[in-house]
Structure 1
Amino acid sequence: MAADIFRITLAQLNPTVGDIAGNVAKAREARAKASADDADLVVLPELFIAGDPPQDLVLQPAFQAACRAAVEALARETGDGGPAVLIGTPWIEDGKLYNACALLDAGRIAATRFKANLPDGDQKRLFTRGPAAGPLSVRGVRIGVAIGDDILLEESSNDENVIETLAETGAELIVVPSRSCYLRGGGDRRLSAAVARVTESDLPLVWLNQVGGQDDEVCDGASFALNADLSVAAQLPGFVAEVTTLAWSRGDDGWQCRGPVTTLIEGDEADYAARVLGLRDHVEKHGFTGIVLGLTGGIESALSLAMAVDALGAARVRGVVLSGPDMPQEARAIAIAARLGVTAEVLPIAAAVAGFETVLPGPLASGARHALLARVRGTLLLGLASLSGALAVVPLKRSDRYGCEIGDAAGGVTLFDDMSQAEIVRLAALRNRWKPANAQGPSGEVISPDLAGRAFSDAFEG
């Protein structure tokens, strides 16, 4: 007979695409924590073994085999009598590739469940749609598994109603391993979908979301659980890895939980935290040694530098002023860096520009020369970054001084392509009074307030 207490450990973790061994190590650490908490089940995010999004890597037979071998090895470890593991993985079944969750228990792969509702894009292109299936039995408790988008139903959609199937086949508790990317206000959409499914099924629901950045995507974590009466059973923080065990109690009205409830950051704070997390993971997961950032004297430069230092710490950020006749704010750029504990290097570009001009048969017009200066800077910045194995970061959302192709060049990124000047000014003001909990930069006023006014008055401000 099942016990009246069921403990679920939520492993809100940050996997790396392709790093199967590293992801397995994180799963082991989470299970060790779950075992110490006397948990019955530890849940890891969607496609955790492979890292998500795996893109075409997941189509390679050798990678598929390596993922399966890793899952089988973890399964054997559950023969120690400790908690069962529910883990996301790519899975080949009857020659078809699925986005799956594997239940590992008692030393074996006890069961698998496949994602039924695949969103447009890579998921639909790479994976086969799975069937809606019934619940899994874990320590006598019937756990319904819905993977990510399996609970995001649209009225006009042909998607399977996975939750309805689970409820009709005897599920007692719904678990949703997910990889949901950060979108401003997107948490409301997740919560609305969860509330709708709980209302329809009258079952409690646990949504476990991945955290971390991969290329240009950032998952914000913010995992949560709802009781069947729609009260919040637990809320994990956003933008940080977290392993938390929830104790569910069985009563006359089914399973209920009263776990920790963290107040989430929202709006501009969430936007800032997402960019810092994305930048940190871009550096770490691609093996860069740090950041080389092209400095100017403007607010975009200051905000870029603040994000870089918050992501990695001042010791791993190199500020460079590539000085030329179109950049009169060297002193301002140096002062911006000093506020964040970064020593700015001033490197004149005159010799490099002259090298180009000697090849040309005549002097360039003003606009063409400005473009040449920008491209010289972009090329030099990429070269400096390459020499040290660092990531080149350009402060401008419009690449006036660092070459319009810098964001597309190998190893170079911009931070504000999708932001208006007003949004940049607002984030800079925010950073002076607040920083993310895990930021490595200093507190207080790190961006001079007078840069906001200059941002709108200087035609070439960066």
Structure 2
Amino acid sequence: MTVLRVALAQLNPTVGGLDGNLAMLNDAYDEAEAAGCDIVAFPELSLTGYPPEDLVLKPGFVEDNLEALDAFASRTRRCAAVVGFVDQDRDLYNAAAVCAGGEVLGKFHKRLLPNNTVFDEQRYFTAGYDSDPLELYLIGGVKVAVSICEDIWSPVGPVATQAAAGAELNININGSPYAVGKGARRERMLATRAADSHCSIVYVNQVGGQDELVFDGGSLVFDHEGTLLARAPQFAESVTIVDVPVPPVYRKRLLDPRGRITEEMLPIVEVTTEPASSPVVVETPVSEPFDDDRELYDALVLGTGDYCRKNGFTDVVIGLSGGIDSTIVAAIAVDALGADHVHGVSMPSRYSSDHSKSDAERLAENLGIDFRTISIEPAFSAYLDMLEPSFADREPGLTLENIQSRCRGQALMALSNEFGWMVLTTGNKSEVAVGYFTIYGDSVGGYAAIKDVLKTRVYELCRYVNRREGREIIPENVITKPPSAELRPDQRDDDSLPPYEVLDPILELYVEDDRTAGEIIELGHDEDMVRRVTRLVDIAEYKRRQCPPGVRVSRKAFGKDRRMPITSHYRG
């Protein structure tokens, strides 16, 4: 039996940061070489960062990425490397290069280009069926195939073809974004693909945040029977080294009762690799997957932190109302950037309760963050005086509530402009869905950390923070008191909205599952409630378009995932 030592370089590249990405790849390559690896695999488009979007429409960017590939290849030695880049010929290709001995030995162009959910790859790339032949690489006596992300999701895609033509191990490089529950589905698929093709699978995923996307890492290795050999950590960079046993598999393929595809043998590129002088002993790591609460929370922390860091922000400012949403955003910010870089601001008005002000102050003390109070009452009173001639003889209503929110937004933006702090907005998915926020008010900011988290999950995350710390970080009163915007006397959210335990299941069906109102009613939900909620979602589309980006963690988020027309009369 042959054993191939493989390094899974689970890295956090930055889109467009070619020099920094190249340095990161070089460092990981040197680590793999020193460990006696036969091959090291990097994530999809790791030279450019993923997804590069319209950067690839700039010819100069594509040329620069090709120069970076040549620079990387020129310093490779005995250890082979699979690195993601953008290739060009008559078209552009999402590509992987196999490098060793100072040169590029071969290229693979991605065959299956996803064009759904957050992916727009058919906008930029051409599928690689006719652009380059499939090849196998003889590395350490093992026939190695290369594929890219979506190529492995299809049971009859390139991976099956490569296995039928003799591949014994498939290196699959990925930029696979996180979504709740995706990790378990991914592992089941890979185990099935390995067993069906009788081919070991090395699955390398990117980690880190990129605008609205967050990548969870969790790279995996399966043997030819679909048995898990290694799992890299989630939400953390790592170079995971695995000794993959590769027995002869032709007998299993011959005896497979399902029969086998008859394929011509693929050309084999022999990669000259001398045995490592004294390879280190490695233990195969199998990191335990996180539970649901930690997985979601860590995704929010990583996405928020990377958005700030990669865009040059060291500090953030948050309006602390004493409510559940601003509380969890502050906790996320502290874990993402450190307490010294988080600034909380209480902005009371005449309607703010004493407990909300004290809850905000206590939270700031527990988190160890900078805390200040800026009353909006002078600004609010000035607005009332200014508008009095126009509003005379009219009953106070929603307009006055929104003015308070906009006063707060202006105060936060003033701090942002003066000190260079980025404003984190605090709206959750339930409120964003039905438009329960003030445009140019509490929607003002640079990043929306929980815009894809339903309100009921926000409460669960707050309990998780306290459970994780083993003490009360988030005041119990914040978790147990009825939610309120406190923009009028004795206001509660359920004055304007259904209870969140009623609202959230309807939103999941309508937004994430694309059910129509009629279909949701047929599932047993109250018709008047469904019609009301779905109408609120529809008419709030124009408001959501003007909100900042935020971490995508669900099956379908507002933004890249869900692209509904603002003007639409369809009500289902």
Same-fold status (TM-score > 0.5): yes
- 1:13-412 equivalences under 5 Å are 13-78=11-76, 81-93=77-89, 95-120=90-115, 121-131=119-129, 133-153=134-154, 161-251=157-247, 259-328=284-353, 329-360=356-387, 361-363=389-391, 365-397=396-428, 398=431, 403-405=438-440, 409=444, 411-412=445-446
Letter in 2 for 1:419: V
Counterpart CA distance in 2 for 1:161 and 1:210 is 22
Q: Mean Cα displacement is larger for which, 414-423 or 32-41?
A: 414-423
Superposition deviation, residue 318 in structure 1: 0.8
Which deviations, in whole Å up to 9, do the C-alpha atoms of 1:88-146 show, x marking residues without a partner?
111112x2100000111111111110110011141111110112723233344321111
SS at structure 2 position matched to 1:167: helix
Superposition deviation, residue 385 in structure 1: 1.6
Superposition deviation, residue 204 in structure 1: 0.9
Letter in 2 for 1:126: Y
Contact 2:2/2:142 (<8 A) preserved: no
Counterpart CA distance in 1 for 2:417 and 2:87 is 38
1:416 paired to 2:444: no
Q: Mean Cα displacement is larger for which, 373-382 or 103-112?
A: 373-382
Contact 1:167/1:201 (<8 A) preserved: yes
Aligned to 1:430: 464
Aligned-CA RMSD value? 2.4
The higher radius of gyration belongs to 2
SS at structure 2 position matched to 1:323: coil
Contact 2:342/2:369 (<8 A) preserved: yes
Contact 1:222/1:237 (<8 A) preserved: yes
Letter in 2 for 1:146: S
Superposition deviation, residue 62 in structure 1: 0.8
In the alignment, structure 2 segments of 5+ residues that lack a partner are 251-281, 485-489, 495-572
Which structure dedicates a bigger proportion of its chain to strand?
A: 1
Distance 1:326 1:82, change over 3 A: farther
Counterpart CA distance in 1 for 2:248 and 2:59 is 49
Q: Mean Cα displacement is larger for which, 46-55 or 187-196?
A: 187-196
SS at structure 1 position matched to 2:299: helix
Distance 1:461 1:318, change over 3 A: farther
Q: Percent identity?
A: 32
Contact 2:302/2:336 (<8 A) preserved: yes
Letter in 2 for 1:33: E
Count, aligned residues: 442
Counterpart CA distance in 2 for 1:433 and 1:309 is 17
In the alignment, structure 1 segments of 5+ residues that lack a partner are 155-159, 436-442
Which deviations, in whole Å up to 9, do the C-alpha atoms of 1:384-438 show, x marking residues without a partner?
12322222012333489984345765x5233333333321111101111126xxx
Counterpart CA distance in 1 for 2:219 and 2:66 is 26
Distance 1:6 1:407, change over 3 A: farther
Counterpart CA distance in 2 for 1:401 and 1:309 is 26
Contact 2:170/2:202 (<8 A) preserved: yes
SS at structure 1 position matched to 2:224: coil
Letter in 1 for 2:165: T
Letter in 2 for 1:345: R
Contact 2:314/2:337 (<8 A) preserved: no
Superposition deviation, residue 250 in structure 1: 4.0
Contact 1:374/1:401 (<8 A) preserved: no
Letter in 1 for 2:455: Q
SS at structure 1 position matched to 2:241: strand
Distance 1:190 1:447, change over 3 A: same
Aligned to 2:514: none
Counterpart CA distance in 1 for 2:29 and 2:105 is 17
SS at structure 2 position matched to 1:404: coil
Contact 2:2/2:141 (<8 A) preserved: no
Counterpart CA distance in 1 for 2:427 and 2:493 is 9
Contact 2:46/2:83 (<8 A) preserved: yes
Contact 1:407/1:414 (<8 A) preserved: no
Letter in 2 for 1:244: T
Distance 1:119 1:460, change over 3 A: same
Q: Mean Cα displacement is larger for which, 342-351 or 422-431?
A: 342-351
Aligned to 1:8: 6
Letter in 2 for 1:338: E
SS at structure 1 position matched to 2:75: helix
Q: Mean Cα displacement is larger for which, 367-376 or 395-404?
A: 395-404
Distance 1:148 1:263, change over 3 A: same
Letter in 1 for 2:28: A
Contact 1:406/1:413 (<8 A) preserved: no
Counterpart CA distance in 1 for 2:78 and 2:420 is 43
Contact 2:207/2:237 (<8 A) preserved: yes
Superposition deviation, residue 192 in structure 1: 2.3
Counterpart CA distance in 2 for 1:425 and 1:133 is 50
Distance 1:65 1:455, change over 3 A: farther
SS at structure 2 position matched to 1:146: strand
Contact 1:375/1:402 (<8 A) preserved: no
> TM-score, normalized by length of structure 1?
0.90
SS at structure 2 position matched to 1:417: coil
Which of 448, 455, 461 is the aligned partner of 2:475? 448
